[in-house]
Chains A and B, each alone.
Chain A
């Protein structure tokens, strides 16, 4: 997954340093770090996408729906060669392509622009439908949402549709830092399971557990991984 344009290979240990290059969005700090391990495992070990292949119709799609606190996302994209590390210090500046919410037309490798909550999963549903309609059965579609974002009704429209529609190329990872105003009765996974999804809940800091959950088979059904991290208020 490394790219020839990178001068050296970045590892997980480099991510805090890359993130520290970005300042000015500290209020979103917890939101940024909650996604760090999920993003790293996906980009490092799961997603079949690379800077050179980012227009390839057969690539996997990763849709960052939770666009708040995108520092971890930008750090991972930089580590994987999608965007130059030199862009990171400009974070949020007028001339920078890197905003406090990402814009797909400005950020290489970003499949969608996000920030307003509840848009990524419905778009991911359409992306999965579009790939299926064109006989592109290989690419997998991933949407990352937050547990509080899950409150948005648009997500429930998408969840309720995708299960019965059998969108087995569709994947969702819910980063659960217990930030929803009202905890979901029965837990997050139960909501998806009731709609016919395959669901696993794991420690969102455990890379091997995340990898195993991300790659678990789920024939005929969409798949959700609930990645639990420390509470936002902790």
Chain B
């Protein structure tokens, strides 16, 4: 299977052809995929070199002239390194952009912590007005990229990962999707976590919601799910554990509830190796998830 990132340049190249507002801004990463597009649209494909503050600042300038910038590099360099530019040049200037990251939480474990960004979504949560898409399959990534670029002048983050589910599901860029219904708890699986969550909850009497657009958080879907399944909620996220716990609490603020946030641990692992080894180390493999979800939801969840 190809990766989400494999879809990025072809999809955005088509958008460059279709929409004269679209511009691509790169910082020496992912440039090969846009070589042909740069020939066709020389003014609208810009590589600023290894300069991430300029990457985001220039995108803001492009937006202020009426263009729709799509900005791409690894998550560490896109959200964390130029964070003040994201906050001020886009947020404070009231300028929109589509930030598309790659490498995610630990897509390249052998690369080590410098190329890991499990805190990207939590960091964006400190800012107002960001839409965050976390596709779980390359087909979903394609759809969500199109939604992101078409979203007027909104500020949108699209988080691409080599972690993916086996099958794509229809995604609409807004709502959570009910994948399984039960009566003893709700598990929200975010993006690439779905396959592991479905395996982990096999035989458990829980509702499984699938979230590929996590900001705004579809609190209405979570509330509806809890009406039949009760208010024990487990969030399984491919980034920092607990990132969406506050959003879930807000959605259930007027009812007694419990929330367990599962995801990537805060402590730096200092290990290389393979992606699967990191998934297991953070307790995000199906077996670990079954223990933690089962332990939280309790006997009632077992059928």
Contacts and interface: CB of A to CB of B under 8 A. Distances in A.
Contacts of A158: 54, 57-58
Contacts of B69: 126
A132 B61 contact: no
B89 interface: yes
Given A113-B93, A160-B51, A130 B66 contact: yes
A123 B57 contact: yes
Interface in A93-114: 103-105, 111-113
13 contacts: A57-B66, A111-B64, A119-B85, A122-B58, A122-B85, A124-B61, A125-B57, A129-B23, A130-B66, A154-B54, A160-B51, A161-B49, A161-B54
Contact of A119 (B57, B66, B67): B57
Contacts of B228: none
Nearest to B59: A126
Contacts of A132: 43
Interface string B54-90: 1011111111111101000000000000001100110
Given A121-B57, A128-B61, A129-B61, 17 more contacts: A122-B53, A122-B57, A122-B61, A122-B85, A123-B57, A123-B60, A126-B57, A126-B61, A129-B23, A129-B43, A131-B65, A133-B23, A133-B62, A134-B67, A153-B53, A154-B53, A161-B48
Given A116-B88, A130-B23, A130-B61, A123 B93 contact: yes
A153 B44 CA distance: 25
Given A104-B94, A112-B93, A133-B44, A119 B88 contact: yes
B46 interface: yes
Nearest to A133: B43
Given A116-B88, A119-B89, A134 B65 contact: yes
Contacts, number: 103
A153 B59 CA distance: 17
Interface residues of A, number: 31
Contacts of B93: 104, 112-113, 123
A176 to B, nearest CB: 23
A96 B64 CA distance: 24
A125 B56 CA distance: 11
B94 A105 contact: yes
Contact of B67 (A111, A123, A124, A133): A133
Contacts of A125: 54, 57-58, 61
B92 interface: yes
Nearest to B82: A154
Interface string A217-230: 00000000000000
Contacts of A130: 23, 61-67
Contact of B62 (A57, A104, A127, A154): A127
A154 B85 contact: yes
Interface string A157-189: 110110000000000000000000000000000
A134 B68 CA distance: 12
A127 B51 contact: no
A157 B62 contact: no
A122 B84 CA distance: 13
Contact of B84 (A104, A116, A128, A161): A116
Contacts of B62: 126-127, 129-130, 133
Which 3 A-B residue pairings sit nearest by Cβ, starting from the closest?
A126-B61, A122-B57, A130-B65
A129 B58 contact: yes
A141 to B, nearest CB: 8
A153 B65 CA distance: 24
Nearest to A132: B43
A126 B46 CA distance: 10
Contacts of A103: 92
